[in-house]
Amino acid sequence: MSHRSLLGQITFPLIILFVIMATGLFIIYCEITDKNSARVEQTLHTNLAQQIIQYSDGLQQGEISKTALKPAFHSLMLLGPSYEIYITDNQGNLLVYAAEPSKIKRNTINIKPLDNFIEGASYPIYADNPRSKNQQKLFSTAPIFKDNQQIGYVFVILGGDKYDNIVRNLALDSDLYKILAALIIFFALALAVLVFIFARIVRPVSQLDKDMTNFINSDFSTVSKLAPRQYAANEIINLHNNFSSLENKIHKQLTQIKSTEQLRREMLSHISHDLKTPLASLKGYLETWLLQYPEAAGSDFIQVAQKNANQLQRLVEQIIELAQLDSNTVSLYQEPVAVAELAQDVLSKFQLQAEQKNITLSVEPKDPSLQAIADIAKLERVLTNLVDNALRHCQSGDSIKIHLQPKDNQLIISIADSGVGIPKEDVDRIFDAHFRAKNTVNGQQGNSGLGLAIVSKLLSLHHAKISVSSVLSQGTTFSFSLPTSASI
């Protein structure tokens, strides 16, 4: 049973509460018992000190003689071995006592409790024990008079050192320990019963928790069929039934979504493939017409049509590629790739376009030894899409740089441009296939956005994540990392 489980969070505080209650009850019982015992003891011996005076001719006459009284005290203590008898003056100074002087720890006691006793204060009353520096004991006392003037007190300790020693020796046989044992047994049984009850209440909740965990771990495809136990509370049964209904509904909706998504991908794939043939034919006729009649009237319109046909063909190819990536049927053939050489090859494809726009392309460092483990064709596609995206957002005089940096068995690949940048609110959405950014150059229409979506999915196949940082009018940097050949 874990302390973080529901049963543990109920049981452990309950155990602590029971221990505190049992301890508190035992302490209260002991205090009440001790107080009642002390009250009875002091009540029974209220007149003890007065009786000692009555049976002593010297004390009746107010004569305090250590020599005369010591034998009498000794005899009385033999008759009552739990008593310790002292004579004090009015200030509480000890005058006569039967104990050995070495046992006396203080020669003066506080007389206020003695006066309270004589005045009839409620019991129990405690006074200083001469045989201890800080202990107080039950007592009986009476004043000593001479010529109608009080000259001292007879002070009798009830339950002296001998009494305390006997109590300590017989402590294990005391009824208090029997009561404590009974309390422990009672609370242990009560706790066991409560834990059993709570366990029966919590078990259906634990079962429901396991069902929910299994449902989540199965990607919401495994529906539990276990019914709650018959002894479960009505609320638990209702909760379990509601969860079962929720499971069935989520499973049904998820199945419908997957089916719809699969149909969408298949439809896109079919449409794209169906478009490829007429597009190829259209491009062929347009190119043929331009070759045969380059100076004919309306050739400008044909060139515009050819440009749009090329863009449509690229879009169809991207849709087909994205559909294939979404179908999770694309496999990787990973091998060591000289990234600097691959990057230079990619930039070569865009060199003419870059020169026409007066944009500088570069790779740093041009080190053929910098290798990464990747599928070379798909890595080329990633670099191509990123450079193509950068070119569309750069103006005359800007630059595009592919930077390579080895670090901790990883090769960090960055594609940085000094173009128009990306608005802050668009940064988190640029890899969404359905999002079109607003950062156009010279009023050009924004791209479809499929290129960056393809980049993100291709890098996901490599278990790599792409990040982007951008500042408007200063440029954008895309970065990702791949394992180097040293890490395999």
- pLDDT of 396-451, one tens digit each? 999 999 999 998 889 999 999 999 988 888 888 888 776 666 655 554 544 556 78
- Confidence at 343, pLDDT banded by 50, 70, 90: very high
pLDDT of residue 25: 74
To which H or E segment does residue 23 belong?
Answer: helix 6-44
At residue 135, what is the residue type? Q
Residue 328 reports pLDDT greater than 80: no
Strands (DSSP E) found in 79-148: 83-88, 94-97, 126-128, 136-146
**Rounded mean pLDDT, 357-378:** 91
pLDDT of residue 281: 81
Query: In the predicted model, what is the mean pLDDT of the chain?
Result: 79
Nearest to 481 by CA among 387, 399, 408, 390: 408
Rounded to whole angstroms, how far apart are CA atoms 148 and 468? 108
Rounded to whole angstroms, how far apart are CA atoms 172 and 292? 121
Residue 167 reports pLDDT greater than 90: no
| 130 within 8 A of 94, measured Cβ to Cβ | yes
pLDDT of residue 411: 93
| 440 within 8 A of 382, measured Cβ to Cβ | no
**What's the Cα-to-Cα distance from 331 to each of 133, 212, 385, 456, 460, rounded to whole Å?**
91, 33, 20, 16, 12
Is the pLDDT higher at 443 or at 375?
A: 375
pLDDT of residue 342: 93
**What's the Cα-to-Cα distance from 110 to each of 26, 98, 143, rounded to whole Å?**
32, 20, 15
At 53 the three-state DSSP class reads: helix
- Confidence at 272, pLDDT banded by 50, 70, 90: low
The pair of three-digit structure tokens given for residue 271, joined into one six-digit string? 């449409």
The burial class, CB within 10 Å (0-12 / 13-18 / 19+), for 453 is: buried
Q: Does domain 45-169 have CATH number 3.30.450.20?
A: yes
To which H or E segment does residue 405 belong?
Answer: strand 399-407
Helix (H), strand (E), coil (C) string for 410-467 = EEEEEEEECCCCCCHHHHHHCCCCCCCCCCCCCCCCCCCCHHHHHHHHHHHHCCCCCE
Q: What's the CA dihedral at 18, 23, 26, 32 to 10 degrees?
A: -120
Residue linked to tokens 């597009």: 279
**Rounded mean pLDDT, 126-150:** 89
Phi, psi of 420 (to 5 degrees): -75, -15
pLDDT of residue 380: 92
Least confident of 34-48, 367-381, 401-415, 468-482: 34-48
Phi, psi of 170 (to 5 degrees): -100, 10
358 secondary structure, DSSP code: T
pLDDT of residue 251: 76
Is the pLDDT higher at 228 or at 293?
A: 293
At 292 the three-state DSSP class reads: helix
> Whole-model pTM?
0.48
CB half-sphere exposure, 144, CA atoms < 13 A:
28
Nearest to 478 by CA among 428, 417, 395, 399: 417
pLDDT above 90: percentage of residues in the chain: 21
**What's the Cα-to-Cα distance from 220 to each of 204, 212, 245, 328, 363, rounded to whole Å?**
21, 9, 13, 19, 47
pLDDT of residue 363: 94
- Confidence at 172, pLDDT banded by 50, 70, 90: very low
**Rounded mean pLDDT, 178-187:** 76
To which H or E segment does residue 75 belong?
Answer: helix 66-79
**Rounded mean pLDDT, 40-44:** 83
pLDDT of residue 414: 94
Give the highest mean pLDDT range of 39-48, 166-175, 260-269, 318-327.
39-48
- How do the domains of the chain map onto residue ranges? 45-169, 218-329, 335-487
Beta bridge partners of 416: 401, 477
pLDDT of residue 175: 62
**Rounded mean pLDDT, 248-263:** 77
Rounded to whole angstroms, how far apart are CA atoms 271 and 155? 115
Q: List, in order, residues 6 or more apart from 313 with CB less than 8 Å away.
A: 276, 279, 280, 283
Question: Per CATH, which fold does 335-487 belong to?
Answer: Heat Shock Protein 90 (3.30.565)
Query: Rounded to a whole number, what is the distance in angstroms from the first to the last CA of the chain?
Result: 43
- Confidence at 333, pLDDT banded by 50, 70, 90: confident
pLDDT of residue 446: 46
Q: What is the CA radius of gyration of the chain?
A: 50
Residue 57 reports pLDDT greater than 60: yes
Give the highest mean pLDDT range of 235-239, 364-368, 413-417.
413-417
